[in-house]
Structure 1
Amino acid sequence: MAERAHYPDGAPCWPELTTNDLAGATRFYQRVFDWSCEDLGRHLWHYTLCRIGEAPVAALTPPAVGMEGVAPAWTTYLATSDIEASVVRVEANGGKLVVLPTALPGYARFALAADPDGAPFGLWQAAGHAGAALVGEPGAMCWAEVHSRNPMAADGFYEALFGYEREQQGDGVDFDYVLMKIRGTAVCGRLRMPYEAAGEVPHWLVHFTVADCEETTARVVRAGGEVLISPFEMRETLVAYAADPSGARFAVCQGGG
């Protein structure tokens, strides 16, 4: 298994779903990914930890007080070794700080932000919990990418935030995709949202590895979710986009990310 105990600054390290229907989301993702889920409510605010075996791979949580009307969504957390410096760079480069650095006792300090295009994301400074302890295995995160309407602004913002090296994919016109790298290794991506996605808002999309993309999309439907884009080939990987019953979007990948 691809076990992880550390993430470099800027690498997606932890996926977390915020939902108004915690019980329903727990049932859905257990059916789709075979996760075991533990409600840590006796210690935290009904924070549900999702595992494959003993390895934590994701979390489900209700919205914070005062944010109950926010649409359910997956948040991609990016690792940082200095969350205070990171939030300063967020605001200095046109982003918006949504939640100040906050302690998740025994796990991390986290903050929530939005890039200049409005795409929400998180910052995660480990304090006993580096993030997903397993990657690239069925049910675990394998990739994350930001879908942006203003790719030049997004590229400049994330480069200033984490010093990513950029590698252009496609022609930058009909298909504009950038791999964001740390010391030569691609850790996440940026996609210019296609014109036909006019009704969508900029967002980060988390991808989970599955053994069989077709079988997993069938599970999504049986569990009450929706397949938004049927399996397609992307960088030698079979990918599908889906949404859970509350509308939170995610992707599944057969063959990695």
Structure 2
Amino acid sequence: MAVQPEGTPCWADAMFSDVEGAKSFYGDVLGWTFGEASSEYGNYTQAYADGKAVAAVVPPMPGQEEGPSQWCLYLASPDAAATAGKIRENGGEVLMEPMAVGDFGTMCLGRDPSGAVFGVWQAGQHEGFEAVGEPGAYAWAEVFTREPARTDAFLTAVFPYRAKQTQDDAIDFRIFDVGENTVLGRMKMTDDFPPEVPSYVNVYFSVPDCDDAVAKATKLGGILRFGPMDSPFGRFAALSDPQGANFSVIDMTTTQGEMPELTEV
């Protein structure tokens, strides 16, 4: 796949204290295979679905062993340094300054004003996902936030997004477009979320059968958080893996119901 337009999700990785355990879990649940660990880059290990790079797992760097595992979604940028500047100017925080990763590209880590952590990726030789929406590959992502107004203002200031809001009193949901493509969602966290759970980015991976993926995940020590549930976008479920990283699975071939009505904001 080519370099993605600015603001488009382009890569996902996660840090695990037990990398072999993570490889075994996601290998079974999502059908991933794994490349060789790159010792030059902290044993960064790419995951593949049907031979295409779709994500990566990595052990903690020295001193980072205590943090919980979590998936990090990277948004494409033509200039990571400029994006880092926008993050700061609009009430966010730069957690990791832009850093060249060999010839692969330049990465940066940021946090939005509500506390959701995300990555920025300026592509070099590594352009990001080699597949999207295929079984085992990245499918979609949503920012779950307790402060939707702050998150919405931040995202549209940092990235060239056009926003649309659902006309539904039951949920506060917004989507962001880049050009003609819808690339990201934003969901207001309800009281169903324990107060200690911070704002976060929820990454969805595509599966051929949602219920089958949930059964595999829970058998291997994963925890079902929500679903499986039918929607106009697909049948999906939210899970936590055995090391605590949240993720969702979605079967986009099984859809039900009408698409929500959206209004540009």
TM-score greater than 0.5 by the shorter chain: yes
Counterpart of 1:251 in structure 2 is: 248
Report how far residue 81 of structure 1 moved: 0.6
Deviation for aligned residue 1:237: 1.1
What residue in structure 1 maps to residue 222 of structure 2?
Answer: 225
Which residue identity is paired with 2:115?
G
Q: Is 1:175 the equivalent of 2:162? A: no
Residue 130 of structure 1 deviates from its aligned partner by 1.1
The residue number in structure 2 matching 1:151 is 148
40-49 or 128-137, which moves further after superposition? Answer: 40-49
Asked if structure 2 preserves the Cα contact closer than 8 Å seen for 1:168 and 1:179, the reply is yes
For 1:52 and 1:30, the matched residues in 2 are separated by 9
CA deviation vs aligned residue, 1:101-148 (integer Å, no higher than 9, x gap): 112223221011100001000000111111110000000001011001
Partner of 2:94: 97
The amino acid of 2:172's aligned partner reads D
Answering whether residue 174 of structure 2 is matched by residue 185 of structure 1, we say: no
Aligned residue for 1:114? 111
Q: Which letter does structure 1 place at the counterpart of 2:178? A: I
Letter in 1 for 2:121: W
* Sequence identity percentage: 34
- Counterparts of 2:84 and 2:139, CA distance in 1: 25
CA distance in 1, matches of 2:238, 2:105: 29
Q: Does 1:10 align with 2:43?
A: no
Partner of residue 205 from structure 1, selected from 199, 202, 218 = 202
Aligned mates of 2:40, 2:63 — CA distance in 1: 21
Structure 1, residues 190-247: CA drift from partner, whole Å, max 9, x if none?
0001122133210000000000000010110122211111211233311100111001
Which 5+ residue runs of structure 2 have no aligned equivalent?
Answer: 256-265
1:38 CA displacement: 1.7
Output the TM-score relative to the length of structure 1.
0.94
For the 8 Å contact 1:17–1:61, the answer to whether it is kept is yes
Q: How does 1:118-137 map to 2 (within 5 A)?
A: 118-137=115-134
- Cα distance, 1:53 vs structure 2: 2.8
What is the TM-score normalised by the length of structure 2? 0.92
Match of 1:196 in 2: 192
C-alpha root-mean-square deviation of aligned residues, in Å? 1.4
Residue-pair matches, total? 253
Secondary structure at the aligned position of 1:153 is classed as helix
2:234 corresponds to which residue?
Answer: 237
SS in 2 for 1:43: helix
> Structure 2 CA distance, aligned partners of 1:251 and 1:23?
21
5 Å-filtered alignment, 1:56-95, equals 56-95=53-92
> 1:46, 1:86 → 2: CA distance?
27
From 160, 165, 187, the equivalent of 2:162 is 165
1:25 and 2:22 are equivalent in the alignment: yes
Which whole-Å CA distance do the structure 2 matches of 1:63 and 1:115 have between them?
A: 23
Q: Report the Cα offset of residue 249 of structure 1.
A: 0.5
Match of 2:262? none
Residue in 2 aligned with 1:44? 41
Spell out, residue by residue over 1:34-70, the C-alpha distance to the aligned partner (whole angstroms, 9 max, x if none). 1111232333211010012331000001223332211
Q: 2:64 & 2:40 partners in 1: Cα distance?
A: 21
Distance 1:167 1:17 in 2: 29
Contact 2:42 2:61 in 1 (8 A): no
> 2: CA distance between counterparts of 1:62 and 1:99?
17
Q: Which runs of 5+ in 1 are unaligned?
A: none
* Cα distance between partner residues in 1 of 2:230 and 2:173: 15
Q: Write the letter of the residue equivalent to 2:9.
A: P
